[in-house]
Amino acid sequence: MDRLASPERAPRVLPPRRLLALAVVLGVACALFVGTALAHSGSLGGSRQDLSVPQWLVLMTGGGAVGASFLLASFVTDRSFLRAVHDSERGLGSPVRPLVVIGRIGGVVGLVGVLVTGLFADPLGLTQPLRNLAVLVVWVGWWAGFSMTTYLVGDTWPVLNPWRTVASVLPSLDRSLPERVGSWPSVGLLLALVWLEVVSPVADDPTLLGAVVLAYTVFTVAGAAVFGTETWFSRVDPVSRVFAAYGRVAPLTVEDGRVRARVPGMALSEASWLSGRSDVAFVVALLWVTTYDGFVATPTWRGVVTPLVEAGVPAPLLYPLALVVGFVLFYGAYRLAARSGKRAADSLLTTDEVARRFAPSLLAIAAGYHVAHYLGYFLSLSPALLGALSNPFSPPPPLELVLPSWFGGVGLTFVLVGHVLAIWVAHTAAFELFPSRVQAIRSQYALTAVMVLYTMTSLLIVSQPAIEVPYL
């Protein structure tokens, strides 16, 4: 239903005006970004001048920028223009076979390296986290660095994934996973994985990390052997699914064995790769866990839990509780927005369908927030990672890159860029979904409100100093 009939081919809006509209969108958005970024560097650095901007103003301005970008996007109502922006793609040839083989071998070698330096950290004398290859490769190289490449470049995980490589050479029972299970297991596993990452000392204890990676290896290879690699890695394995979802944001993709390039983020207006409620829940879960990860390390969270812990609530219970409650809140807010959008557009589509069509836009937000959260971490620890990689068994003393004080503003900028991209993508998806352009615009009111609230939540986290996760 995405084709175009003749009446649309003679657009009423002239090309120069379209360009002007886009230029205005970008210009105002940039002006607002710069304002916010400066505000943040002012409050972080302090020494620049005596201009300290209160946090509420930073949050409001961020929310305002996202709201304003909805208004600006609503001026772009030419379907053929929207389609031209989103469908521009070009083929880049096939990936070279030797490169795939090298990637597979590299993935397996990496896994073995992590297992050896993790499990045998004590006998090898590698217990210091910043000199341990397993800790640095898993958290700095993979969780932060590699994740960033999946949405900034392309999802290379199906090749690198060592568990897929191992499972693919093992025999499989090919049991079928019932259809009604959908991809709910991956939602649960993703939440469980992030809970483990936050509450356990797995980030600092190489031996424990090695044990967790080993357990994950056994679990994943066994699961893939029972259900078949395709089913397992596309419906159950949370890690593969996270990277596949992030890969939808990326400029590079593989289709029928050929690499294709597209404008970053523009493929998010298309939702055919999501089927049903569980896939939507997974996207929302991905957005939530990225937030949760940052949220538990803020003074705000400490302020929330301190009275509860003092009242006798056990802290280990609060963390999974907050994880589940937050997920339910995020999912509920998103569904409510979809339902309200459907009503505002006077559409007969089901709420599920509307929720599915707009879910990919949330990935732009998740990716923007991920950069904000991890770029500084990755850059400051990358010298230590290089040190450990250059000499895994006797690494040099770890070096840490000291980032300039304005770097905090970079995070805020990425949060906003992600949200503005999400607004634009949802705008395009609405134009493809609804025959009336007025319907398309109305369907976005509630979603925009949710995104504005979400921007403010993200900014609240990113604009605070990261503290030690309390009471663990």
Partner 1 sequence: MSGSAEPTANDAVAVPEAGPFVCAHCGRPFAREAYLALHYGVDHDEPLDAERRAAFETAREEEEAALRQFRLKALLALVFTYFGFLMLWAVVNLLL
Cα(263)–Cα(252) distance, integer angstroms: 9
Q: In sequence order, what E strands does 194-304 have? A: 252-255, 258-262
- Phi, psi values for residue 294, rounded to 5°: -80, -35
* The only residue of 19, 109, 438, 467 in contact with partner 1, by rule CB under 8 A: 438
Residue 353 CB, nearest approach to partner 1 (Å): 5
One-letter amino acid at 404 equals: P
Binding mask 17-36 for partner 1 (x = CB under 8 A): -----------x---x--x-
Give the binding-site size for partner 1 (rule: CB under 8 A). Answer: 43
Q: Report the 10 Å Cβ neighbour count for 162.
A: 21
Cα(273)–Cα(279) distance, integer angstroms: 9
Task: Select the span of 142-150, 244-252, 349-357, 459-467 touching partner 1 (CB under 8 A).
Answer: 349-357
H runs (alpha helix) in 120-161: 121-124, 133-135, 147-152, 157-160
Residue 14 CB, nearest approach to partner 1 (Å): 15
Q: Does 8 bind partner 1 (CB under 8 A)?
A: yes
One-letter amino acid at 198 equals: V
Q: Which is nearer to partner 1, 56 or 219 (CB)?
A: 56
Q: Does 3 bind partner 1 (CB under 8 A)?
A: yes
Q: Which is nearer to partner 1, 114 or 355 (CB)?
A: 355
Q: Does 443 bind partner 1 (CB under 8 A)?
A: no
Binding mask 60-99 for partner 1 (x = CB under 8 A): xx--x--xx--xx-xx-x-x--------------------
Strand 252-255: give its sheet, edge to edge. Answer: 89-91, 258-262, 252-255
Q: In sequence order, what E strands does 257-415 have? A: 258-262
Residue 368 CB, nearest approach to partner 1 (Å): 21
Q: Does 52 bind partner 1 (CB under 8 A)?
A: yes
Contact 454, 419 (CB under 8 A): yes
User: Across the strands, what pairs with 253?
Assistant: 260
Q: Which is nearer to partner 1, 65 or 126 (CB)?
A: 65
- Phi, psi values for residue 347, rounded to 5°: -105, 150
Residue 464 CB, nearest approach to partner 1 (Å): 19
Cα(356)–Cα(354) distance, integer angstroms: 5
Cα(411)–Cα(40) distance, integer angstroms: 10
Q: Does 11 bind partner 1 (CB under 8 A)?
A: no
* The only residue of 88, 350, 391, 405 in contact with partner 1, by rule CB under 8 A: 350
Residues interacting with partner 1, by CB under 8 A?
1-8, 12, 28, 32, 35, 51-54, 57, 60-61, 64, 67-68, 71-72, 74-75, 77, 79, 343, 346-350, 352-353, 434-439, 441
